[in-house]
Amino acid sequence: MSLVPNVIETTSKGERSYDLFSRLLKDRIIFLGEEVNDETARLAVAQMLFLEAEDPSKDISFYINSPGGSITAGLAIYDTMRYIRVTYRHLYRAAAVSRILLRRYEETDAYYAENMDTSRLGEDRRKARLRFYSKAAPG
């Protein structure tokens, strides 16, 4: 059972309570923080399609912190990402299928920080490496 915190937003009409993921979605932010499986893929795809239908001209931020998972579920997310407009991504921990999702954005603004538990043998495991992929990045 995962705990989802609530956030309280105060407006001129009073206070409104949201679960954290609903509040992020309101700001066009999708967060995938678990293993990629049929359920997490279904949720991510539904959120992307909802935001695209709501306003296709606005950017969607997609944050991934995943150890990997199902190839077929990951490809469902990947295909949806190709279909809609997602322009900024942040990837902190990735293995297997999560890296495929990042590959979709190597030519745009995608960040990848290799986590210590997935770093290659022979590298200093106390230091995470950061790779920046961008069309504007030198060399």
Higher-scoring residue by pLDDT: 7, 105? 7
Q: Which amino acid is at 16?
A: R
14-133: CATH topology is: 2-enoyl-CoA Hydratase; Chain A, domain 1 (3.90.226)
Q: How far apart are CA 114 and CA 80, in angstroms?
A: 25
CA distances from 94 to 44, 63, 72, 89 (A): 16, 11, 16, 13
Mean pLDDT of 39-66: 90
At 119, is the pLDDT very low, low, confident or very high (cuts 50, 70, 90)?
very low
Q: How far apart are CA 29 and CA 5, in angstroms?
A: 16
What is the model's pLDDT at position 44? Answer: 94
Q: How far apart are CA 86 and CA 44, in angstroms?
A: 12
Q: How far apart are CA 51 and CA 25, in angstroms?
A: 8
Lowest mean pLDDT, pick from 14-23, 37-46, 108-117, 121-130: 121-130
Higher-scoring residue by pLDDT: 60, 97? 60
Q: Which amino acid is at 70?
A: S
Share of the chain residues as helix, strand and coil, in percent rounded to the nearest 5: 35, 30, 35
